[in-house]
Amino acid sequence: MGSDLPKQFMLIQGKPVLYYTVKAFLDAFQDVEIILVLPELQMELGKEIIDGYFSGANIQLASGGETRFHSVKNGLSLVAEESVVFVHDGVRCLVNKELLIRCFNKALETGSAVPVTECRDSLRLITEEGHVVLDRNVVRMVQTPQTFHSKLLLPAFAIDYKERFTDEATVAEAFGIELTLVEGDPENIKITSPVDLAVAESLLINR
């Protein structure tokens, strides 16, 4: 992003990105409990956002870990009751109620729900021998919230960490959980660059 300020604390229309992400879950579910996982150095900023915008909401803080796997594991340690667990990127601030409910219902039905979207770009696979064209019609782009029943996800995160664990879906698969894919949302973008921030601001204004 070209800034020392982490992406989730950058402002859109005068409010931090993280505000919109948290609010989406609070608006979708009256009884939602949020576990906000942040690096130790960002804890105070996180507390300021919670106190400033969500006083009275059921939000806990957890410390991040060395990798995404370890951060999620730390957050899962605070899941006290059997539940449906959403694991969501804090910088996907455009997630909407329809997608959240779709993931929730499918996870209740099958135990898992991983949102994906179609790939619109041409793809090439780089190999030692060169590169080959991939059929984009059989490729899907993975989003969050990756959603699971707690009785499946918590035991999955008890296994040893592997470098190939890039998200919760890869951990669940390694544990033997069959994944259910659900339709994602093209607007559910992950903010990783200044262009993404500008797009997110435009979409939020239009909403």
How much is the pLDDT for 15?
96
What pLDDT, on the 0 to 100 scale, is given for residue 3? 81
pLDDT band at 21 (very low <50, low <70, confident <90, very high): very high
Asked whether residue 2 carries a pLDDT value surpassing 80, the answer given is no
The backbone torsions φ and ψ at residue 21, rounded to the nearest 5 degrees and listed phi first, read: -65, -50
Give the dihedral sign, CA 160/151/100/98. Answer: positive
Model confidence pLDDT, tens digit, residues 93-111: 999 999 999 999 999 999 9
pTM of the full structure: 0.94
Q: What is the mean pLDDT of residues 30-40?
A: 95
pLDDT of residue 88: 98
Of 201, 197, 203, the residue nearest 1 (C-alpha): 197
**What's the average model confidence in pLDDT over 10-28?**
96
Q: Which domains does the chain have, with CATH numbers?
A: 7-206 (3.90.550.10)
Percent of the chain topping pLDDT 70: 100
Tell me: the pLDDT tens digits for 148-199?
A: 999 999 999 999 999 999 999 999 999 999 999 999 999 999 999 999 999 9
pLDDT of residue 97: 97
Q: Tell me the average pLDDT of the chain.
A: 95
**Runs of H (alpha helix) within the chain:** 17-28, 43-53, 68-76, 97-110, 150-156, 168-175, 194-206
Q: Given pLDDT bands bounded at 50, 70 and 90, which one contains residue 29?
A: very high
Mean pLDDT of the region 48-69: 93
Predicted local confidence at residue 133, as pLDDT: 93
pLDDT digits (tens, 9 = 90+) for 116-149: 999 999 999 999 889 999 999 999 999 999 999 9
Closest to 91 in 3D by CA, of 68, 73, 113 = 68
